[in-house]
Structure 1
């Protein structure tokens, strides 16, 4: 084999960015569909509790996902317990870097009187109103979009080392990362949906 060709191939391989794998956390202890109807104040408290909840006992990372996580992958997570624990399973004992930059986009409770609804319905209304500009003193949608842009840059920079980057984060924020990665030339080569433990894989075009 031509030595020059071999060296060139190795250089090209080293210069190619790693993959970006974005994972939604496993099922937490607190989930929307299991909570009773409540008013907006109780929903606000429920959401705060959800944000601090851990994974439900017995949650195990799917084998198919574990197989995607290479031994030299960089493991990242948000600063929320459910994401940190998910990343811990993905890393299988390796160090995990967690950062609030990857936290879920907020769901500020809209003040809709005392009309009771289940959290899963409050979530839909709160997300819609948040997208329209309601922030209730929390992070505004514009700021969250800027955060998603910064997060995408962090992921891309890390993948630039040639190693895969695996992020354990959250359903809506993961969606916000999609257009930011796409704008920067990254293609979604595997779409596993949005359920717990789901993942998407991005590669540089």
Structure 2
């Protein structure tokens, strides 16, 4: 009883969880300097999903330091994410997890005379998928949201011991995982936007 009365109150409370850093992969090798039909964009996206990083990139030093200090590092199984993790981890182990792959991007079925840049097709495909449930037999928004919630639960458990967790994955699915974390009470404390190698940091208040 005396020990309990004289102990530092902070040692009796639950340990504060570590931060969760959701990072986007580096720049892919596949050029976006093209214009495509809807059919062409489907082929482009398939190549994008299978491809790796553009050679010669220098990962941000700040992100490398965050990974060096983290208790756990997770990568999507897509090549561009795995290669990003290899470049950032500098020999340390990381986990490859298919749960963190990007949400699908089937474009709307517009006629062949409509030709757009991949970035524009990506925006339209995401809009159609998000608001009109255009999935063409693939993962639906509801299914992806359930996957994002499961992913949030997994990394929340890893952060419970007080060590940071870094996830190297994809722009939109990271956004969805971030929404799931906020629903669980996490607060986004830093946001570098949508660019390659960018991060979003979440902490428990």
Q: Compute the TM-score of the two structures, normalised by the length of structure 2.
A: 0.90
The equivalent of 2:128 in structure 1 is: 129
The separation in 2 between residues aligned to 1:31 and 1:126, in whole angstroms, is 19
Classify the secondary structure of the residue corresponding to 1:69: helix
Supply the RMSD in Å over aligned alpha carbons: 1.9
Pairwise CA distance, 1:85: 1.3
- 1:90 matched to 2:100? The reply is no
Q: Is the 8 A contact 2:70 2:166 kept in 1?
A: no
Q: Is the 8 A contact 2:68 2:89 kept in 1?
A: no
> How is 1:188-203 mapped onto 2 (pairs within 5 angstroms)?
188-203=188-203
Structure 1 gap ranges (5+) = none
The equivalent of 2:48 in structure 1 is: 50
The separation in 2 between residues aligned to 1:102 and 1:31, in whole angstroms, is 24
The separation in 2 between residues aligned to 1:30 and 1:188, in whole angstroms, is 31
Q: Is the 8 A contact 1:61 1:89 kept in 2?
A: yes
Structure 2 gap ranges (5+) = none
When residues 111 and 165 of structure 1 are mapped into structure 2, their CA distance, relative to the original with a 3 A threshold, is same
Classify the secondary structure of the residue corresponding to 1:181: helix
> How is 1:1-205 mapped onto 2 (pairs within 5 angstroms)?
4-5=6-7, 8-10=9-11, 12=13, 15-32=15-32, 34=33, 36-114=34-112, 115-131=114-130, 132-205=132-205
- The number of residue pairs the alignment matches comes to 200
Deviations 1:26-53 (A, max 9, x none): 1010143x2x212111110110000111
The separation in 2 between residues aligned to 1:68 and 1:189, in whole angstroms, is 15
When residues 57 and 146 of structure 1 are mapped into structure 2, their CA distance, relative to the original with a 3 A threshold, is same
Q: Compute the TM-score of the two structures, normalised by the length of structure 1.
A: 0.90
The separation in 1 between residues aligned to 2:93 and 2:12, in whole angstroms, is 28
The separation in 1 between residues aligned to 2:166 and 2:11, in whole angstroms, is 24
Deviations 1:116-137 (A, max 9, x none): 2121111111111011210012
